[in-house]
């Protein structure tokens, strides 16, 4: 294809073919829909046509969450098309037939450029504009073929991207992330680790050889056109199973769900224990309604079946572009940051100059946990048939602490991953470098928070001097607790026996029995304000030193705002703020010296 033809084709391919978002919104407003509901419908349908959005609104007329200000989550993927895509789809089909379904089957073939992030419905169009601008700026240097090399381990099989091409893709992701974050006021995290295209993940080890043989039939140099695509999903159902209805079911009782063949249903596995055998309780993707339905009317679907493609940028290349990029020096990133969130947190420590001369409170979120890395079913992945713990991945902890009751209680009280342990200890070392003196440590009763506190103290070289005080009142908003009940936490005695440095004489301001499941937002705000003020009062005001509080993502807002005289955030804003809080991120509040 001639260069002029290629450039023309790229312009046509990447041009928006539908009406502008503002025109779509105006059309819905003239039909009588309110602005925020119309914007929600447009975001849920990819902002393509008025007809799609209107159909969605009519289907969701009985959706109890229709007025909730919950945005979609978005991700930027680089997806192959053409012959390579066809071969990958054939691998998907054959690997599933011969070895059964694994984690990779949940999503179509792709390279993750920016992982899922939230964006307010009214600002989604800014993401489209960003994708177009950044795509245009990188179109000239995009290679005609992406270097792919096969990599295999006992739990992973896929193609790794060659360094030179990976660096270019990371620059593209960083450019999109930077501009989208600034324009749409959202936190977009580019993928800066080893870029890869997954073929199989979390499969049985004895299937490795079969999967490798199937993968070797794929020619990574096959003709391919790459597309940067922006997808969205419903953030409320990220950890749910997705079912697909095989038949229509008409409700016989008021608490049953109406489904049509082809409907997708979100099912929370943790809420099925009290459901009658042969039935499940779920939420319809089509209507947003919730109810019981017969399980044998459904089959398992893929996670990405309910995702919506919003916009895509087609990279059209020629050999001329390849020659140019071969001659141009590759632009290296300032180091390959494997955890940008953690790096920012450590960097923020540099602002704590002369902290030893001032007294304050450092409120921190715990480190990375195993359930965040390996999913809610992490415990099933690391238990043998007779219930013994083993380490299926190096990011699992080497052991689990002993507890008197069932090991199954760890499901809702998960430990830190090995990366989470490293994060916590590194934060402690950074505080030590800045000569920050910690005099008191309070922790939420969750294992992840206690472990974070322990490893921070080790990094500070204070683990033999400062003891951890377990304060149940520091637990997160119970409405967000997945188990719908207060988890069964390890006791202080069990923690002490497991070599955690606990203050056994401390008695919490809020006993565990005072925590109520599904408390209201007002109750949570009141509890948070009361407990932080009681902690400050209990610690001597004279002298130096910092009070370290290890809690949850919600803690950074709910515990610091009362200290500086600010009212609690509105509940609609609170969830969005909390979602942006990364692991081991902290807020430092200084007190005036008396």
The sign of the CA dihedral 573, 578, 579, 581 is: positive
298 near 243, Cβ under 8 Å?
A: yes
Q: Mention every residue, 6+ apart, whose C-beta is less than 8 A from residue 389.
A: 382, 383, 399, 400, 407
DSSP 8-state assignment for residue 134: H
Locus of tokens 């309070």: 442
Neighbours of 39 (CB within 10 A): 24
Q: Exposed, middle or buried by CB within 10 Å (0-12, 13-18, 19+), for 475?
A: buried
| Integer Cα distance of 564 and 406 in angstroms | 42
Q: Which of 365, 403, 455, 561 is catalytic?
A: 365
462 near 421, Cβ under 8 Å?
A: no
| Integer Cα distance of 203 and 168 in angstroms | 31
Question: Backbone phi, then psi, for 284, in 5-degree steps?
Answer: -75, 130
591 near 560, Cβ under 8 Å?
A: no
Sheet holding 359-365, edge to edge: 468-470, 438-443, 545-551, 359-365, 586-590
195 near 166, Cβ under 8 Å?
A: yes
> What angle do helix axes 83-99 and 208-215 make, rounded to 10 degrees?
160
**Is 366 tagged catalytic?**
yes
| Integer Cα distance of 404 and 402 in angstroms | 7
3-state secondary structure of 260: coil
> What angle do helix axes 163-184 and 124-138 make, rounded to 10 degrees?
150
Give the CA diameter of the chain: 79
Over 541-554, what HEC string results?
CCCCEEEEEEECCC
3-state secondary structure of 429: helix
| Integer Cα distance of 292 and 262 in angstroms | 17
Rounded (to 5) percent helix, strand, coil in the chain: 40, 20, 40
| Integer Cα distance of 428 and 453 in angstroms | 9
Q: Which of 165, 286, 310, 366 is catalytic?
A: 366
Over 146-202, what HEC string results?
CCEEEEECCCEEEEEECHHHHHHHHHHHHHHHHHHHHHHCCCCCECCCCCEEEEEEC
**Is 552 tagged catalytic?**
yes
Q: Which of 85, 110, 455, 552 is catalytic?
A: 552
| Integer Cα distance of 292 and 254 in angstroms | 9
Q: Which of 449, 468, 484, 472 is nearest to 527 (CA)?
A: 472
Q: Which residues are catalytic?
A: 365-366, 552
């Amino acid at each position: 294809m001639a260069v002029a033809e290629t450039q023309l084709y790229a312009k046509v391919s990447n041009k928006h073919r539908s009406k502008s978002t503002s025109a779509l919104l105006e059309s819905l407003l003239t039909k009588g829909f309110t602005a925020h509901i119309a914007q929600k419908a447009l975001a849920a349908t990819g902002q393509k046509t008025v007809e799609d959005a209107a159909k969605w609104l009519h289907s969701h007329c009985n959706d109890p969450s229709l007025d909730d200000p919950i945005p979609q989550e978005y991700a930027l993927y680089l997806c192959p098309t053409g012959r390579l895509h066809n071969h990958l789809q054939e691998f998907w089909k054959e690997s599933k037939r011969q070895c059964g379904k694994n984690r990779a089957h949940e999503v179509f073939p792709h390279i993750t450029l920016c992982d899922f992030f939230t964006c307010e419905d009214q600002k989604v169009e800014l993401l489209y504009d960003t994708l177009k601008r950044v795509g245009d700026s990188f179109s000239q240097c995009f290679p005609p073929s992406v270097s792919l090399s096969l990599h295999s381990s006992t739990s992973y099989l896929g193609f790794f991207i060659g360094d030179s091409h990976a660096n270019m893709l990371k620059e593209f992701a960083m450019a999109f992330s930077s501009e989208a974050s600034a324009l749409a006021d959202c936190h977009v995290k580019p993928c800066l680790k080893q870029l890869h295209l997954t073929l199989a993940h979390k499969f049985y080890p004895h299937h490795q050889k079969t999967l490798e043989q199937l993968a070797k039939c794929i020619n990574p140099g096959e003709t391919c056109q790459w597309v940067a695509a922006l997808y969205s999903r419903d953030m409320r159902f990220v950890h749910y199973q997705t079912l697909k209805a095989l038949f229509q079911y008409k409700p016989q009782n008021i608490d049953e769900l109406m489904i049509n063949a082809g409907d997708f249903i979100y099912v929370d596995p943790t809420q099925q224990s009290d459901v009658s055998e042969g039935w499940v309780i779920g939420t319809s993707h089509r209507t947003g309604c919730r109810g019981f339905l017969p399980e044998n009317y459904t089959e398992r679907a893929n996670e990405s079946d309910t995702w919506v493609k919003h916009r895509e940028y087609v990279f059209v290349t020629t050999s001329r572009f390849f020659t140019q990029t071969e001659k141009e020096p590759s632009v290296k990133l300032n180091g390959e940051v494997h955890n940008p969130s953690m790096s920012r947190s450590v960097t923020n420590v540099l602002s704590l100059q002369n902290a030893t001369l001032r007294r304050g409170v450092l409120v921190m979120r715990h480190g990375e946990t195993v359930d965040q890395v390996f999913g809610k079913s992490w415990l099933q992945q690391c238990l043998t048939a007779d219930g013994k713990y083993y380490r299926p991945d190096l990011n699992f902890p080497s052991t689990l602490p002993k507890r008197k009751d069932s090991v199954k209680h760890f499901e809702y009280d998960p430990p830190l991953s090995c990366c989470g342990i490293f994060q916590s200890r590194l934060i402690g070392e950074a505080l030590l470098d800045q000569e920050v003196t910690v005099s008191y440590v309070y922790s939420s009763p969750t294992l992840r928070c206690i472990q974070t506190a322990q490893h921070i103290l080790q990094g500070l070289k204070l683990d033999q001097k400062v003891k951890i005080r377990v304060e149940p009142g520091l637990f997160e908003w119970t409405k967000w607790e997945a188990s719908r009940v207060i988890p069964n936490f390890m006791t202080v005695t069990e923690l002490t026996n497991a070599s955690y440095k606990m203050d056994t004489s401390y008695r919490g301001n809020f006993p565990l029995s005072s925590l109520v499941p599904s408390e209201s937002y007002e109750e949570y705000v009141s509890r948070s304000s009361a407990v932080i003020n009681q902690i400050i009062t209990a610690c001597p005001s004279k002298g130096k030193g910092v009070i370290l509080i290890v809690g949850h993502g919600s803690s950074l807002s709910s515990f610091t705002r009362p200290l500086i005289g600010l009212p609690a955030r509105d509940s609609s804003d609170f969830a969005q703020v909390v979602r942006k809080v990364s692991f081991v991120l902290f807020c430092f509040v200084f007190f005036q010296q008396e």
